Amino acid sequence: MLTLEKFEEASELVKQVTNPTKLVYSDYLSEQTGGKVYLKPENMQHTGAYKLRGAYYKISTLSEEERQKGLITASAGNHAQGVAYAAKKYGCKATIVMPTVTPLIKVNRTKSYGAEVILHGDVYDDACAYAYELAEKEGYTFVHPFDDLDVATGQGTIAMEIVQELPTVDYILVPIGGGGLITGVATLAKMLNPKIKVIGVEPAEAASMTAALKAGEVVALDSANTIADGTAVKAVGVQNLPYVQENVDDILLVEDDELIGAFLDMVENHKMVVENSGLLSVAALKQLECKGKKVVCVLSGGNMDVITMASIVQHGLIQRDRIFSVSVLLPDKPGELVSVASTIADAQGNVIKLEHNQFVSTNRNAAVELRITMEAFGTEHKHKILDALEAKGFRPKLISAKLY
């Protein structure tokens, strides 16, 4: 059972290893929603995510004999680092099985805490099955990333901190993967104040908790294909489901494209790097009536590798029409390129890439193709540039934008 006594014990214990992640008021998100929006920046933890809380509390409940057997777990990255860090604090060995697609930054950081990392399978569920095999074979103590009530108790300490800092909070938005975080947060939040509404948020393509609630039991999805890799879980925890059924007020689904925009907003307006899973709570704000409400978005983690980050930024700029490409056909004669460039410059567009193809037609006097990738301030400015090119007779054709 999850009890207030255990939550209080865990809240004191995790202070030994966590950073105090004070709420950050968001002027930008508050203005967008009409409410008072606060961020709970768990991306600022030592290990870059909230998972350290559950791992540390769980390991504290183990006997010395269980610890000395060595710990093993499976994780898409954040729980891996939490267990590795906590195991190091307790002086015991940790073996972590991670999916082969886990971002390099998560793999390297897990190793940096002294854990042995084994890459296996395409998704978390594959890695978990293999970790169980190894636990049985080697006699390791398995520390489940979410289907464990001690782990959920540790994660729930987030709710204790939120309510202590903002006692009048109306909504707490929580990302859902396997369900350990929302189980702990929702259960404790309702114990402290039953009026608080706890809203879970899942990726639309990995909505395993939504499926479980609909079926009335845990079900396994055929796939969990989402850029929110930390929540790409095919089946939620069996122990978590009853607590979610009782304490969670609603679950919202977010498309991957919405996470791209949320990443851009977080970087530009808050100067924070938050991984896609951690942005679920922010992206879901658009679906919630927030006017006059105090809302806390839990940013569950910030472990994103630089290559993924670069890709997300590029797609975000294209998605918001701040980068776009056009194709125009020109006679192959001097001065035409200058004329196009001048038209774009007069409309305050900024050319960042040019491709000149003389072989688009066998009749070079009739046409050569010019592909132009440029920056704009947004959709309105993009159309202004297109109108300017059209007015000069260039007949621009929008094409897929690529920066490489």
Report all structural domains of the chain as residue ranges with CATH numbers, in order of start. 4-50+149-316 (3.40.50.1100), 53-142 (3.40.50.1100), 321-399 (3.30.70.260)
pLDDT in tens, the chain (404 residues): 899 999 999 999 999 999 999 999 999 999 999 999 999 999 999 899 999 999 999 999 999 999 999 999 998 778 999 999 999 999 999 999 998 988 787 888 899 999 999 999 987 778 989 999 999 999 999 999 999 999 999 999 999 999 999 999 999 999 999 999 999 999 999 999 999 999 999 999 999 999 999 999 999 999 888 999 889 888 999 999 999 999 999 999 999 999 999 999 999 999 999 999 999 999 999 999 999 999 999 999 998 888 889 999 999 999 999 999 999 988 877 888 899 999 999 999 999 998 887 766 656 566 788 999 999 999 999 999 999 999 999 999 999 887 66
* 300 labelled catalytic: yes
Whether the CA torsion 348, 353, 357, 361 is positive or negative: it is: negative
**Cβ–Cβ < 8 Å for 90, 114:** no
| Largest Cα–Cα separation, the chain | 83
**Per the structure block, which two tokens stand in for 187?**
């259960």
Q: In what order do the strands lie in the sheet with 294-299?
A: 24-25, 36-41, 294-299, 171-175, 197-203, 250-254
| Close Cβ partners of 298 (under 8 Å, ≥ 6 residues apart) | 40, 42, 50, 158, 172, 173, 174, 175, 181, 185, 278, 281
CB-side neighbour CA atoms (13 Å) of 346: 12
Q: How many CB atoms lie within 10 A of CB 151?
A: 34
Active-site option among 58, 300, 325, 382:
300
| pTM (predicted TM-score) | 0.88
Active-site option among 6, 51, 58, 382:
51
* 51 labelled catalytic: yes
Q: At what angle do helices 51-61 and 180-192 cross, to 10 degrees?
A: 90
